[in-house]
Amino acid sequence: MKKLTALFLGAAVLPFLSGCISNPTPVSSVGPEPSAQASAHATGRLRVFSATQTRAGENTSADYSGYFYPHSSYEIKNNAGDTVKYVRNRAVYMDQSPDSVKLPPGRYNVVAESTWCGLVKVPVVIEAGKTTVVHLDANWNPPLKTASEKVVKLPDGEAAGWASAEAKQ
């Protein structure tokens, strides 16, 4: 009886997961926040809030014991599929903030772990003097903006970031 119940549960969940498995890439690319002001820097920045991992705290002090949630590592690839950079996505073992990576302006693909879709490939646009932020940890709800500012979503409906200027056209 337990095997039959597990089989039915598996069959019921499969259609929900197939959206992530069959089409892991958002339709459009993620770019900087539309209202962000550019700095004078020639490079742009990328921050990826990838899925988090649960880690037990290092009990170096009797005062601290608990868990922390660093973001998982990811790869930045060029359009030819070659790895441009591997990002650990944390400065130290207990760091819960994602790294900010400097990149020349251009188009890239981020291959990272999403909380609900597993491994995904997200096209991103890096602009000089601006930061592109990719949200894959299911913790971002975009603020209400004007109708012209679009949000890129993963196949499961998770908001991944702001649509790049070229994606809006």
pLDDT of residue 63: 55
Mean pLDDT of the chain: 79
Higher per-residue confidence, 29 vs 139: 29
Q: State the pTM of this model.
A: 0.76
Q: Are 51 and 139 within 8 A, CB to CB?
A: no
pLDDT of residue 75: 96
Rounded alpha-carbon distances, angstroms, from residue 38 to 18, 35, 75, 152 = 39, 9, 25, 21
What is the rounded CA–CA span in Å between residue 47 and residue 93?
Answer: 18
Q: Quick: pLDDT tens for 58-82.
A: 655 555 567 777 888 999 999 999 9
Residue 15 — pLDDT band, cuts 50, 70, 90?
Answer: very low
Pick from 115, 122, 113: nearest CA to 89:
113
Burial grade of 46 (CB within 10 A; 0-12, 13-18, 19 or more): buried
Residue 18 — pLDDT band, cuts 50, 70, 90?
Answer: very low
Domain boundaries, the chain: 2-168
